[in-house]
Amino acid sequence: MSNPITPSSAEPVVTATDPIPVPVNRIPTPATTPPDILRCAYMEIVVTDLAASRKFYVDVLDLVVTEEDETTVYLRSFEEFIHHNLVLRQGPVAAVAAFSYRVRSPEDLDRAVAFYTELGCRVERRAEGYVKGIGDSVRVEDPLGFPYEFFYDVEHVERLAWRYDLYTPGALVRLDHFNQVTPDVPRAVAYMEDLGFRVTEDIQDEAGTTYAAWMRRKPTVHDTAMTGGDGPRMHHVAFATHEKHNIIAICDKLGALRMSDVIERGPGRHGVSNAFYLYIRDPDGHRIEIYTQDYYTGDPDNPVVTWDVHDNQRRDWWGNAVVPSWYTDASLVLDLDGEPKPVVSRTDDSELEVTIGADGFSYTRKGDEAQGFKLGNTL
Ligand SMILES: [Fe+2]
């Protein structure tokens, strides 16, 4: 006899390896060994009003100022020991100047140069680094059009993990991940796997269209994710808190400051990653995620989780709707000359359209589509 309250076991699907179809337009795999990437380390963003952005990141989000001058602010999280996790640089166009990864050794910078040169990418190396606190580094315009940076040498600063006298209720303790918007997710994933990343979760439909994929180097759900959409653009950068209540405290503080309009989505719990989340927008519209409590992924046989794009719980475990701006808005990225990269449209199906548009509503229980998506008729 079946138990009427037994949840469906149909979703999501767990497999041993990445189930994303290999694209016909695959970027060729370089013969050279890729750099050994440790983790996402910092993002450099251009802001149009440095004072307004400093107020947002320092006075509201309580990131720690490591160093600053008239044009640039270097910020870090409470548990960080390297110089910074976020660089705010005054400039004319709000955009992202670098997605920066730390590599295991100085020799990995030579590997990065060889890897991207073989891919035919623009590659620049500066022995003195591109920003304060970072030494010898390599910047590239990667095959997807993103400004990627790799470095090993870095200035160490005080890790404030034990400085509870400085903590605030919403303290941000680590940089967790980047999220990038790109038109062709399978093409992006194949290149990122060549670079040494592993897929942990993804969203597909029954026809095999891939809408998003999460990939990691460090043993968490991701260091970066590829979100299908017009790109190259930056979807968000995420900082971790210790606990869920820290995220609630940030919401309460934003309300008390009459800044609730910067809350775009959440708080809530993700299906993908199982993490608790909040999305907010900075004064230029750059999206920041506050994120906590995903799971360990470091074993070599870590299972890959594939979500159905029509599963109403994939992006919010409680079934709350994803606001349209979350799908459509993202930040421009810059080339190595500091010029915005042209944005190419996605031609595969759009997640926004297939879940709340004309192609049909999502479901909460597979096979029970008649009950539909609880908010489907109100959107
Ligand atoms: Fe995220």
The residues spanned by each domain of the chain are 37-151, 169-338
- Strand boundaries in the chain, DSSP class E: 13-15, 37-47, 64-68, 72-76, 86-90, 95-103, 122-126, 137-141, 147-151, 174-182, 198-204, 210-216, 224-228, 233-240, 263-269, 276-281, 287-292, 304-308, 331-333
Q: How far is the CA of 374 from the centre of ligand 1 (A)?
A: 24
Pairwise CA distance, residues 112 & 118, whole Å? 10
Token pair for residue 335?
Answer: 């080339």
Token pair for residue 166?
Answer: 């400085």
Pairwise CA distance, residues 216 & 106, whole Å? 21
CA 164 to chain centre: 28
**In the predicted structure, residue 311 carries a pLDDT above the cut 80:** yes
One fold for both 37-151 and 169-338?
A: yes
Q: How far is the CA of 178 from the centre of ligand 1 (A)?
A: 7
Mean pLDDT confidence for 212-240: 98
Residue 193 DSSP label: H
- Smallest CA-to-CA distance from 275 within 304, 242, 323, 253 is with 242
Could you say which architecture CATH assigns to the domain 37-151?
A: Roll (3.10)
| pLDDT tens-place string over residues 124-170 | 999 999 999 999 999 999 999 999 999 999 999 999 999 999 999 99
Q: How far is the CA of 85 from the centre of ligand 1 (A)?
A: 16
Q: How far is the CA of 236 from the centre of ligand 1 (A)?
A: 7
Q: How far is the CA of 330 from the centre of ligand 1 (A)?
A: 13
Fold of the 169-338 domain: 2,3-Dihydroxybiphenyl 1,2-Dioxygenase; domain 1 (3.10.180)
Please write down the long-range contacts of 371-375, taking CB distance under 8 Å and 24 or more positions apart: 373/312, 373/319, 373/321, 374/312, 374/319, 375/320, 375/321
3-state helix, strand, coil in the chain (%, to 5): 15, 35, 50
- Smallest CA-to-CA distance from 126 within 154, 108, 91, 151 is with 151
Q: Provide the β-strand partners of residue 305.
A: 14, 201
Q: How far is the CA of 275 from the centre of ligand 1 (A)?
A: 9
How many Cα atoms sit within 13 Å of 9 on the Cβ side? 3
**In the predicted structure, residue 357 carries a pLDDT above the cut 60:** no
Q: How far is the CA of 238 from the centre of ligand 1 (A)?
A: 6
Per-residue model confidence (pLDDT) at position 63: 98
- Smallest CA-to-CA distance from 221 within 175, 176, 174, 172 is with 176
Q: How far is the CA of 179 from the centre of ligand 1 (A)?
A: 6
Per-residue model confidence (pLDDT) at position 375: 53
Q: How far is the CA of 237 from the centre of ligand 1 (A)?
A: 7
Q: How many CB atoms lie within 10 A of CB 216?
A: 23
165 to 75, 168, 261, 309: CA distances (angstroms): 19, 8, 30, 44
Q: How far is the CA of 14 from the centre of ligand 1 (A)?
A: 21
Q: How far is the CA of 289 from the centre of ligand 1 (A)?
A: 6
- Whether 304 and 287 have beta carbons less than 8 Å apart is answered as no
**In the predicted structure, residue 379 carries a pLDDT above the cut 50:** no
Q: How far is the CA of 128 from the centre of ligand 1 (A)?
A: 31
**In the predicted structure, residue 4 carries a pLDDT above the cut 50:** no
Pairwise CA distance, residues 10 & 17, whole Å? 18
